[in-house]
Structure 1
């Protein structure tokens, strides 16, 4: 199996909505974004699947070394081998890739966020940085597209947090800012014990509105000259905004279930968004 085949298999097996935004890209861009996505999956899996924080930290340190070898030596892992070709062709900065690992390390160090400012740093590292790297792969002419990519990444991560409240709680994590919980009189115990209260529903409506505002802000910031090149992000936004709508229509029952869209629906949204340009 070649490095590109490994990355493709990793991306397809995840079932992520991101996979559908890659489908219509030219081959070289599709290879590069798939390598980037596979890297994100690998380091995210370290945190999610490793029960011992010390072992997880050791594994992330190994990935740091692998990233360094992408730029200064010969990487060993098929993902970093594929990433080496992508980083050369699309000038992907090592510092930004390392920041993704910084975000994963935050998951080992804390399971609560005091306020939205603190959460925004986490979102920046695990999602906005990915958006900035993806923008480099897709190509742009106007530097304002970087702001679009940053804010769209933030919107994606806020959507993930909303969708996964219950799943994260079962691992002892609460990403919703403590200041938001206090504002809506929801306790950490309510979330950890899956208590679907009226206050919790109001809290989730607030979080959905915040995520939606970042989608609107990001798309408004995208210069017309770069809209066609950045279509993969617009595809992803269309899929994720549809998901947010489903969560809202379903009464924000994210504590007990994980709302998702079917593959055929994701494919339909992706195709429709892509042809519209």
Structure 2
């Protein structure tokens, strides 16, 4: 069997594990068809994204839909196939399609729509490519020795998303990028601490191993869901670390236009609410996954909407 044949078989088996609409069509769609595809994918896969898009100027919504659709499918190629070799083959193919997009040769609906976003918003390839680095890493790296190692992963898995949002909104300076990185990494950490048992079922631990040793926590405790005083102190420490990162990123809200500020405020406060939920259940994320109540979600949304319609800046 030749290498190309073997790679093609991996790709075909990988596509079979995913929604049929993810496949690359024989004929590229029109821009209008591609944008409809991205909007449909965005609004049916992630409710919070749909809500947040209410606050965006109408002219920016197609760009956010195309960016989200790219992120969504990239993530699914890495996380929903169920086979490491097949995922890596699909991610390599997706990276080739990204390269083709920047050459003006887009075929997939996501890249047809994304090509227009890239042209209008003048977005470089790096943040899109960085996301694929993280999704490839997911296939082989499941433990992290230090918090620096975790944050290095966030540099590829989370921070590019914030930078893409800033590019789409017309911001491209280092100061705003740095603050966005704090917020995006903090959101990633909040999700990690919320999903400790979910991630462990995928054989992933995002607690730094050095922190686990420091607090006397071992992998067996997570595997058996044994909540101990040691685990509580580890969880308390990691929650506080994430809170401090959110605080470091908050100044960005005052450095962007009001519509984007409302989105940033909503997502930052949503991440902080996850940390509050962990604290409210005494840091026992092994017993039950912490979640934000519907009432709190409504309160956060109403707060954001009041800022939108009363013209009040979010702070």
Please indicate, yes or no, whether the TM-score normalized by the shorter chain is above 0.5.
yes
- Residue 270 of structure 1 corresponds to which residue in structure 2? 301
Alignment partner of 1:169 is 2:200: yes
1:200 to 1:14, Cα distance in 2 relative to 1, 3 A: farther
Does structure 2 retain, via aligned residues, the 8 Å contact 1:10–1:38? yes
- 1:172 Cα deviation (Å)? 0.8
Query: Aligned runs of 1:58-207 on 2, under 5 Å?
Result: 58-140=89-171, 143-207=174-238
* Aligned match for 1:245, one of 276, 281, 288: 276
1:240 to 1:224, Cα distance in 2 relative to 1, 3 A: closer
Does structure 2 retain, via aligned residues, the 8 Å contact 1:103–1:122? yes
Between the aligned partners of 1:29 and 1:38, the Cα distance in structure 2 is 14
Does structure 2 retain, via aligned residues, the 8 Å contact 1:64–1:98? yes
- 1:85 Cα deviation (Å)? 1.4
Between the aligned partners of 1:131 and 1:77, the Cα distance in structure 2 is 24
- Residue 258 of structure 2 corresponds to which residue in structure 1? 228
- 1:142 Cα deviation (Å)? 6.0
TM-score, normalization by structure 2: 0.81
Determine helix, strand or coil for the equivalent of 2:189: helix
Between the aligned partners of 1:74 and 1:113, the Cα distance in structure 2 is 38
Q: What runs of 5+ residues in structure 2 fail to find an aligned partner?
A: 1-31
Determine helix, strand or coil for the equivalent of 1:108: coil
Q: Which has the higher contact order (CA 8 A, sep 6+)?
A: 1
- 1:271 Cα deviation (Å)? 4.2
Higher mean Cα deviation, 60-69 or 239-248? 239-248
TM-score, normalization by structure 1: 0.91
Q: What runs of 5+ residues in structure 1 fail to find an aligned partner?
A: none
- 1:52 Cα deviation (Å)? 1.4
Alpha carbon RMSD of aligned pairs, Å?
2.1
Between the aligned partners of 1:42 and 1:100, the Cα distance in structure 2 is 11
1:228 to 1:58, Cα distance in 2 relative to 1, 3 A: same
- Residue 44 of structure 1 corresponds to which residue in structure 2? 75
- Residue 32 of structure 1 corresponds to which residue in structure 2? 63
Between the aligned partners of 1:35 and 1:262, the Cα distance in structure 2 is 30
